[in-house]
Amino acid sequence: MTENTEDLNNGEDRGLQEVRPVSGMYENWFLDYASYVILERAVPAIEDGYKPVQRRILHAMKEMDDGRFNKVANVIGQTMQYHPHGDASIGDAIVNIGQKDLLIETQGNWGDIRTGDSAAAARYIEARLSKFALEVVFNPQTTNWQLSYDGRKKEPVTLPVKFPMLLAQGVEGIAVGLSTKILPHNFIELIQATIKVLQGKKAKVYPDFPTGGMADFSEYNDGLRGGKIKVRAKIHEEDKKSLIIKDIPFGTTTTSVIDSIIKANDKGKIKIKKVVDNTAEDVEIYIELAPGQSPNITIDALYAFTDCEVSISPNCCVIIEDKPHFIGVSEVLQICTNQTVDLLKRELEIRKGELLEKLLFSSLEKIFIENRIYRNIEECETWEAVIATIDKGLDPFKPDFYREITEEDIVRLTEIKIKRISRFDAFKADELMRRLQDELAEVEHNLANLVEYAIAYHEKLLEKFGKGRERKTEIKSFESIAATVVAANNAKLYVNRAEGFIGYGMKKDEFVCDCSDIDDVIVFRKDGKFQVVRISDKIFVGKDIIHVAVFNKNDERMVYNMIYLDGKTGRSMVKRFQVLGVTRDKEYDLTKGERGSRVLYFTANPNGEAELVTIYLTSGCKARVKVFDFDFSEIEIKGRGAGGNIATRYPVRKIQLKMEGKSTLGGVDIWYDDSIGRINRDERGEHLGNFQSEDKILVIYDSGEYELTSFELTNRYEAAKIVLIEKFDPKGIISAIHYDPDSQYYLVKRFQVETSTMDKKFGFISEEKGAKLLLATTVAQPQVEVAYTVKGSRDRQTVSVDLDMVIDVKGWKAMGNKISQHSVKKVTLLNNEAKSKPSKKEVNVAEESVDEETTPKGQNPVETKPEAPKPAPEKPTDEKPKGKEGGGFNVGETIDLF
Distance CA(91)–CA(74), nearest Å, equals: 11
Q: How far is CA 705 from the centre of its chain?
A: 29
Residue 146 near residue 34 (C-beta atoms within 8 A): no
Catalytic residue among 36, 124, 601, 616: 124
The C-alpha atoms of residue 371 and residue 394 are separated, in whole angstroms, by 9
Distance CA 393, CA 154 (A): 44
- Do β-strands 809-810 and 745-751 pair in parallel, antiparallel, or remain unpaired? parallel
Distance CA 698, CA 695 (A): 10
Residue 124 known to be catalytic: yes
* Termini Cα distance of the chain: 115
CA distance 541 to 534: 11
The answer to whether the beta carbons of residues 846 and 772 sit under 8 Å apart is yes
- 441 CB burial (10 A radius; 0-12, 13-18, 19+): exposed
| CB-count burial class (<10 Å; 0-12, 13-18, 19+) for 813 | exposed
Burial class of residue 146, CB neighbours in 10 A (0-12, 13-18, 19+): exposed
Element (H, E) at 687: strand 686-691
Which helix H or strand E contains 669, and what residues bound it?
strand 668-673
Element (H, E) at 568: none
Longest dimension (CA), the chain: 153
**Strand order through the sheet with 309-312:** 309-312, 229-232, 214-216, 474-475
Helices (H), 395-491: 407-414, 418-422, 426-448, 450-465, 483-486
Helix (H, G, I), strand (E, B) or coil at 884: coil
Q: How far is CA 710 from the centre of its chain?
A: 29
- Whether the Cβ atoms of residue 526 and residue 599 lie closer than 8 Å to each other: yes
C-alpha distances in angstroms, 812 versus 512, 750, 776? 45, 8, 13
Containing 684, the helix (H) or strand (E) segment is: none
- What b/e string do you get for 81-93 counting C-beta neighbours within 10 Å, with b at 16 or more? bbbebeeeebbeb
Strand ranges (DSSP E) for 92-228?
104-107, 126-129, 144-147, 154-158, 171-174, 179-182, 214-216
> Of 358, 353, 361, 357, which Cα lies nearest the Cα of 415?
361
Dist. CA 183–CA 250, nearest whole Å: 10
Radius of gyration of the chain, Cα coordinates, nearest whole angstrom: 40
- Secondary-structure breakdown of the chain: helix, strand, coil percentages, each rounded to the nearest 5: 30, 30, 45
State how far the alpha carbon of 36 is from the alpha carbons of 42, 93, 181, 878, in Å. Answer: 9, 19, 19, 46
Of 700, 704, 702, the residue nearest 728 (C-alpha) = 700
CA distance 569 to 650: 10
**Distances from the Cα of 391 to the Cαs of 364, 387, 388, 414, 723, in angstroms?**
11, 6, 5, 11, 86
With CA atoms as reference, report the closest residue to 50 among 189, 135, 159. 159
How far is Cα 717 from Cα 708, in angstroms, rounded to an integer? 12
> Catalytic site residues?
124
